[in-house]
Amino acid sequence: MDKETILSWLKEEDPKRLEKLWQEADKVRARCVGDEVHLRGLIEISNYCINRCYYCGINRDIRTLARYRMTEEEIMAVVREIVKRGYGTVVLQSGEDPGIKRTWMSELIRRIKGETPLAVTLSLGERNVGDFAAWRKAGADRYLLKFETSNRYLYRYLHPPRQGEEIDRLILLEELSSLGYEVGSGIMVGLPGQTYEDLYEDLSIFRRLDLDMIGIGPFIPHPKTPLGCHPDWLSRSEVPNTDLMTCKVIALTRLLCPMANIPSTTALATVNPASGRILGLERGANVIMPNFTPIKYRKLYDIYPRPQETAPGGEDPLSIILSLGRRPGKGPGNRRRQIF
Ligand code: 5AD
């Protein structure tokens, strides 16, 4: 697909023509990663964060937010629940929390790998190579680190660098890959100031990095953040932060990166609670990440406003999967290297 074609799909509004994009993405999804939908149990282990991202509701400037860091025992209890549900992967996610120490994390990973058959995915933000190497050695399988937008100016603006530290996430992704992790990244769709050209660049980077996992969600304004309390900034977007726009990016990602594991994200389900999750799965996605964070912490992991689910694991992912004629994935659900 050349640049013009990609840009014209990104700007396409006609539902009839878009139907062709959805069908093509679904066909490639079926052929390249099959009908299995992999389930990853998500645990948000800490909401401490030292960054000041303008879009994010747990950024360090939000002083009114109570902060938590789960204990090893609390995390292990949830891990056992995820095993009981028959899932193949646990995802440990947090803000950028220096209170999560290298050795503590290594021991937790060793324990999960020793006591369960789960694949372990980490999503703990920017860390030094020593941490990445130690956690890989302890048995971690995958690492997620979104680059959020390929537009360097926009990224720098929305994600102000800490003093004296300008970290290039694309370089970190390459380091993670050379350590033997399966590597995931992704972006937000509809950020103020983001253009269609930017999305084209994002898609090119997905392809160039040969990512194993690609997460794509709409930007959701959070009223306590700089982006959420300046409505005039929001009107300055070329790209809408809608479910439709997000689905176009998911579908194009499937066409450009046919073997990647692509989640139908919670952010997509948040902007369209009735059918976001399903639309993602029908338009290229093959993964769901149900939230297992204990209820008392979940409302504190407030990256963007989302409905409060009451049950661990939330909406019944199994019935969604079966209603689409698909089946839940078995085992860890690694990225496929070959068409089966
Ligand atoms: N809207 C959508 N996604 C967000 N994230 C953070 N804030 C928002 C928001 N307001 C996503 C980013 C980040 C992850 C922690 O959550 O992609 O990588």
Give the pLDDT band (50/70/90) at residue 314: low
Whether ligand 1 lies within 6 angstroms of the CB of 146 is answered as: yes
Burial 147-168 (b: 16+ CB within 10 A, else e): bbbbbeebbeebbeeeeeeeee
Closest residue CA from atom 2 of ligand 1: 219
User: Beta 142-144 vs 89-94: how paired, if at all?
Assistant: unpaired
Mean pLDDT in the chain?
A: 94
Nearest C-alpha to atom 16 of ligand 1 is from which residue? Answer: 303
Q: Is residue 275 helix, strand or coil?
A: coil
Residue 91 CB–ligand 1 contact under 6 Å = no
pLDDT at 162: 84
What does the pLDDT read at residue 253? Answer: 98
Is the pLDDT reported for residue 234 higher than 80?
no
DSSP string, 101-146: -HHHHHHHHHHHHHH---EEEEE--S--HHHHHHHHHHT--EEE--
Banded pLDDT at 316 (limits 50, 70, 90):
confident
- How much is the pLDDT for 237? 81
* pLDDT for residue 231: 66
Q: Give the residue whose CA is nearest to atom 13 of ligand 1.
A: 146
Ligand 1 binding pocket includes 321 (Cβ within 6 Å): no
Q: What is the pLDDT of residues 75-126, one digit of tens each?
A: 999 999 999 999 999 999 999 999 999 999 999 999 999 999 999 999 999 9
Task: Kindly tell me if the per-residue pLDDT of 136 is higher than 70.
Answer: yes
Q: What is the distance in A from the centroid of ligand 1 to the CA of 25? A: 25
pLDDT at residue 53 is higher than 80:
yes
Rg (CA), the chain: 19
Interval between CA 218 and ligand 1 midpoint (Å): 8
Query: Residue 188 gets which letter from DSSP?
Result: E
What residues form DSSP beta bridges with 218? 189
Instruction: Determine what percent of the chain is predicted with pLDDT higher than 70.
Output: 96
Classify residue 162 by its DSSP letter. P
Of 149, 304, 306, best ligand 1 pocket probe by most atoms within 8 Å of the beta carbon: 304
pLDDT of amino acid 135: 98
Q: Both tokens of residue 61?
A: 């400037």
Regarding the beta carbon of 306 and ligand 1, being less than 6 Å apart is answered no
Which residues have CB under 8 Å from 308's CB, separation 6+?
295, 298, 299
| pLDDT value of position 257 | 97
Q: Is the pLDDT confidence value at 310 over 60?
A: no
Q: Per DSSP, which regions of the chain are E strands?
A: 36-46, 89-94, 119-123, 142-144, 182-189, 213-218, 287-288, 327-328
Q: Which amino acid is at 175?
A: E
